[in-house]
Amino acid sequence: MQDVTDLPFMRLMARYGGPDVYVTEYFRVTQDSGLDTQTVRSITENDTGRPVIAQMIGQDIPALVRTAKALEKLPVAGIDLNLGCPAPVVCRKDAGGGLLRQPERVDGILRALREAIQGRFTVKCRVGFADKAEFPRLLEVFLKHEIHGLTVHGRTVRDAYKTAVHPECVAMAVQAMPCPVIANGNVVDVPTGLSYLKQTGAAGLMLGRGAIRHPWLFEQLRSHWEGRPAQVFTGRDMLRYIEALYEATAAFHPQFERTLHVQKMKRYMIYITTGISEGRFEHRIRRVVTEEEFFETCREHLDHEEPLPLRPPEDSSVFCGFAELR
């Protein structure tokens, strides 16, 4: 997730169990782009003990090829092409999810990258730009190229994060593709993760916003599969996580300015606050300005031993449509 899942966040996730594989923030690729130095650090300074995949976003074929070759000189576990970002500023440039409007152009990009990349090459996509009925055509394109993995966010680009996922589309990819297919989108707790896997037959899960909200989610899923008892986390556990996240991300920036860092923390807090104190925590945290106000508000709502809510409310503005086990 751009401007969120950087190296300090990766390191912090590792302290809570973390994923089996990390994916960098995306490298923005244009005709005259180079490798972003801060994102490169997620690769060259990765000390999590887990592999990291370099993610690219863009639509200029020569630039994508050039960038992929440069990234392969670094200690990456593979190169991933982002065809799923729904941000309007990205889609207007025919990058990310915007490319799904042009399957033929996607075909050309994949052909060029498959020829250029020597190691592992994967793709992340959505199930269409405007309608999930577009997905079979996209699968035809993916099938033409020997990609090593496909991650499917089960919404269209226009759905953004406002609807439930379409597990039947992920299941379609599982049936069609010879490579592993990973399910992505709105895994917020163990039941939603298990449901997604059961409904799709996917080889695994990619977690984003749900892991920001509950860094314990990776380990909770492992506990379920290994038959270990699930741990209950409290408000104070969350408070300690926020404090650690604040310090870890602040230390990453050489010219750290406290007020500006409070604003950066809000990018994480929009997910963390969801479902806590019936919206009062989110309301307050959106309006704090100073570091003192930030931590005072966090302590007011989290300095207790009551269990945290496992799932956001159904009317959450940043989570929607939780699939249940069938």
Residue spans per domain, the chain? 7-224, 235-302
Strand order in the sheet with 22-28: 22-28, 52-57, 79-83, 121-126, 149-153, 181-184, 204-206
- Measured CA to CA, the distance from residue 95 to residue 125 in angstroms comes to 11
Say if residue 133's pLDDT is above 60.
Answer: yes
Yes or no: say if 204 and 183 are a contact pair by the CB < 8 Å rule. yes
Contact 140, 167 (CB under 8 A): no
190 closest CA partner among 225, 160, 166: 225
Least confident of 18-22, 57-61, 108-112, 252-256: 252-256
pLDDT digits (tens, 9 = 90+) for 182-229: 999 999 999 999 999 999 999 999 999 999 999 999 999 999 999 999
Model-level pTM?
A: 0.94
pLDDT surpassing 70 at residue 272 = yes
CATH architecture of the region 7-224: Alpha-Beta Barrel (3.20)
CA dihedral 14, 17, 23, 27 (to 10 degrees): -30
